[in-house]
A and B are shown apart, each in its own frame.
Chain A
């Protein structure tokens, strides 16, 4: 029977959201193929997580080992390649995340399996695996076929696939012995470093005026700061703005920054990379100002203005100032 494996992502004792999306996608494919879906959980003392996963999937395969306590791709790779030889799944799914990006490419080379990363769609056509990828910064889609092989690997773009709902009936948990023996010193996990809690907390803001690389340079920041002030809001930004030191890290919205849920999110000069937009899904209203009508941000925004910010922002500032009775 066709077996589909889904790698469970967990960190610091918590299942990561992407796991449910991977399972959702895996379940659909398993149904289409008349096969079965298995969640693969690697870790140490993860009984509770296994129970939690059993509520979402018919079968959970667990490998426990102290070396799997924190994610180290060298150990993960060893365990997964041994599970692969034993069970010969047709497909292994993971997230295109800090997990999948560290692990999938090297595992696929070791197993000599075709890999497609960061996919936004996938399906089987007969025995062939078809995938859809988003390229050129989200402005174009690539329709691809993977080379015919005994197994495939795909990593999924976070925030793209519908999460799997709870199962009616609890699934079975299978404990698999750990194939790990030696401790490796080629790569060692030392410690986590938590994000410093300081400065402005944009995750609590009700109105965010968010700027991207498209504002051209820090000399334009004052007009946005002023707009934010008039609106009683806060200024935030995309990653390149932080990389270039125009604004401090605590202002960054995105998967490697903060997740926000304001009433109004105004994105100016932000193209709409998934690493940015997955973190603004909780916003009530998204307004995008971008001079490129094909910018992907317009497919997540509620309202859009296609124009140069230098024309729009000064006018908008005046208008709102007037409306608010000249704050």
Chain B
């Protein structure tokens, strides 16, 4: 089995104070902590798990700036065999990412491509399924179980409210991986050191026959913070006072 996993380095924004940069096109990112996109971490683990059962090779692929090498190193430490970084054009949308990935993949043989369901930052939920269509292979999205038998992937897809469906997809295929598909695994220091020895290639867009000015289908005009709108009544005071108010509210609403 040759498995390709597409990964992205994303800023962790859940607990951070965010500011919009001068041009108004993005948030300021210099003070943020970056990591491997949560969904992609599950995809990497799943690929490594499949390789452990069937043998073969796992390759991690990212379109991103120089700094993205740190998430590729992380992937190598998680058991990926080799990694490739493709330089990111200055302006990008989901379809363009998919096109770049398709160019990098199309002349190679593979059995399986895994992506995350979505990114934590842009959250298009689009790159994986668009990539499958560009490569002309079948796909399944929001997958939370994979079994490989006789050149087919038997996969479970999450639908809604706990309902799931079982699909059979002919390989080569692309699956977008949902969180929780496998158990997180501890990455040892030895594995991290070993990762340094593994192959990590970097290429530019020209090598794929693309330029840094490919047309975009979705053009970002500006970003803003959500309007205040309807907001919770924020309880104010010392922790003591706040908790007293809250207990009163709970008592009243509990009826």
Contact = CB atoms under 8 A, between A and B. Distances in A.
Interface residues of B, number: 86
Contacts of B169: 186-188
B164 A192 contact: yes
A101 B27 contact: no
Classify the interface of chain A: helix, strand, loop or mixed.
mixed
A317 B236 CA distance: 19
A195 B183 CA distance: 20
Interface in B134-188: 134, 138-142, 154, 156-170, 176, 179-180, 183-184
Given A245-B183, A264-B250, A284-B253, A101 B117 contact: yes
A139 B32 CA distance: 14
Contacts, number: 267
A257 interface: yes
B168 to A, nearest CB: 5
Contacts of A3: none
Nearest to B132: A106
Classify the interface of chain B: helix, strand, loop or mixed.
mixed
A231 to B, nearest CB: 7
A74 B218 CA distance: 25
B124 interface: yes
A45 interface: no
B22 interface: no
Contacts of B17: 294
Contact of B165 (A108, A189, A239, A242): A189
A197 B41 CA distance: 30
Contacts of B235: 303-305
A51 to B, nearest CB: 24
Contact of A139 (B18, B98, B179, B184): B18
Interface in A135-156: 135-147, 149
Interface string A174-197: 000000000001111111111100
B122 interface: yes
Contacts of A72: 167
A282 B76 CA distance: 45
Given A105-B130, A304-B233, A192 B163 contact: yes
Most buried by B among A109, A146, A255, A312: A109
Given A137-B120, A139-B18, A188-B168, A255 B217 contact: no
B209 interface: no
Given A117-B94, A141-B224, A301-B232, A257 B161 contact: yes
A37 B220 CA distance: 28
Interface residues of A, number: 98
Interface string B98-136: 100000000000000000010011111111111011100
A72 B162 CA distance: 19
B223 A141 contact: yes
Contacts of B127: 105
B213 interface: no
Interface string A15-48: 0100000000000000000000000000000000
Interface stretch (B49-57, B63-71, B240-248): B240-248
Contacts of B128: 105
B233 A105 contact: no
Contacts of B220: 142-144
8 contacts: A104-B129, A140-B224, A140-B225, A190-B166, A258-B162, A304-B233, A319-B243, A320-B247
Interface of A: 11, 16, 70, 72-74, 96-98, 101-106, 108-110, 114-118, 131, 133-147, 149, 185-195, 207, 213-214, 231, 239-240, 242-245, 249, 255-259, 263-264, 271, 284-288, 291-296, 298-307, 311-312, 315-316, 319-320, 323
